[in-house]
Amino acid sequence: MKDSLHPFERELSVSIADIELELRGVKEIVWADFWLNPRRLRGSDFLMRWSQGVWSEHRLTDSVNKTNQFYAIPYGPSGTAPDNDVRAFELYFERLEKAGLGNIKRPDLLIFKIEDKNFVDKFLESIGGVEELPFITEDKLQNLIHKAIIAVECENSLWIAEKMPDYNTPLKAQKRLDGKLGLSKTAVLPTVIIKEEDRIPLSKWQQENKIPIHVWHVFFDRAYGLSFDEAQRLVAEGLILPTEQVFQAPGGATTKKAIYKYYYHYAYSLGIANERPQLVPAFIEDKNGHILPYVKFEGGSLEITTDAITILKRL
């Protein structure tokens, strides 16, 4: 079934299971008074989700560029959109929808060899900057895309991976997997997540552009990577089964979506935090001075592992 949500709402949809914050003592918020129209952010969870996504993509981009061997740029609309103003973020998606490109799925990042940095920078300058990428059809971006060694789909989670209860728990034969190795449904451990709704468009993008896609999942303390081809194999062989979750959008709409949670055992170690981010208070203010607080992510750094650099070099 085709997703009917506006791209802005789809981008900020949050799994109901992950919504753990609530505003206590607030009986009513008059959302009509906020500038965020027409899709109003109905709680701190969505503002936090926006901040978290921006932070994680920046963290990955910076960590790749610090290797001095590779060069990362944002490619999908979530990474190229304004990152310091949630209203500007919404207007960006409004413009994307009006251009008829709001429902096109692209990977979040493109990774290049450092030797191609000058070419990439000149190409981006010629189109008006990296923020213009989502508004240009891909047939006009082939010179840029074909320089990339991989494309990256970014995911993130509000967890410290090493403190999750089933971290370091070995895989065991599971009845529900017909004896194949896995863990119980209730196991809590780091996973790399891919949404079912993204599998077909990502597969199509990879096939059409002949650039391998990897999924990079960021936690507070570390990050994991998994090639899209390996993810597809794990599903095809019945090693990973879909999980159905309910997602809520900022406008209040809920939808059921199947997702795949790939145990970190199948992934490669992508990065380790050498400086964790700070959680700092932030808020949006309406035209009448009404305030909605949320927590913002700032700082932190991730060092790309030797294993990940080896994988990138092979590609």
pLDDT in tens, 112-121: 999 999 999 9
pLDDT at 32: 38
Amino acid at 262: Y
Residue 1 lies inside a defined structural domain of this protein = no
List, for the chain, all residue ranges whose pLDDT scores fall below the cut of 70: 1-47, 79-86, 99-103, 247-252, 285-288, 290
pLDDT at 5: 61
pLDDT at 96: 78
pLDDT at 182: 95
Note the pTM of the prediction, 2 decimals: 0.83
Residue 233 lies inside a defined structural domain of this protein = yes
For residue 276, CA distances in Å to 165, 251, 272, 297, 298 come to: 20, 32, 10, 10, 9
Residue 45 lies inside a defined structural domain of this protein = yes
pLDDT at 20: 43
Look at residues 282, 304, 303, 302 and name the one whose alpha carbon lies nearest to residue 293: 282
> Could you count the other beta carbons within 10 Å of the beta carbon of residue 86?
22
- Number of structural domains the chain divides into: 1
Round to whole Å and give the CA distance between 152 and 76.
10
pLDDT at 42: 46
Can you give the residue range of the structural domain that contains 99?
7-314
Residue 11 lies inside a defined structural domain of this protein = yes
Round to whole Å and give the CA distance between 107 and 79.
10
For residue 38, CA distances in Å to 41, 101, 255 come to: 10, 19, 19
Residue 55 lies inside a defined structural domain of this protein = yes
pLDDT at 76: 83
pLDDT at 229: 97
pLDDT at 131: 86
pLDDT at 28: 41
Look at residues 282, 288, 260, 268 and name the one whose alpha carbon lies nearest to residue 54: 282
What the block records as the tokens of 313 is: 């070099």
pLDDT at 25: 42
Q: The tokens 């095809």 sit on which residue? A: 236
Residue 2 lies inside a defined structural domain of this protein = no
pLDDT at 39: 43
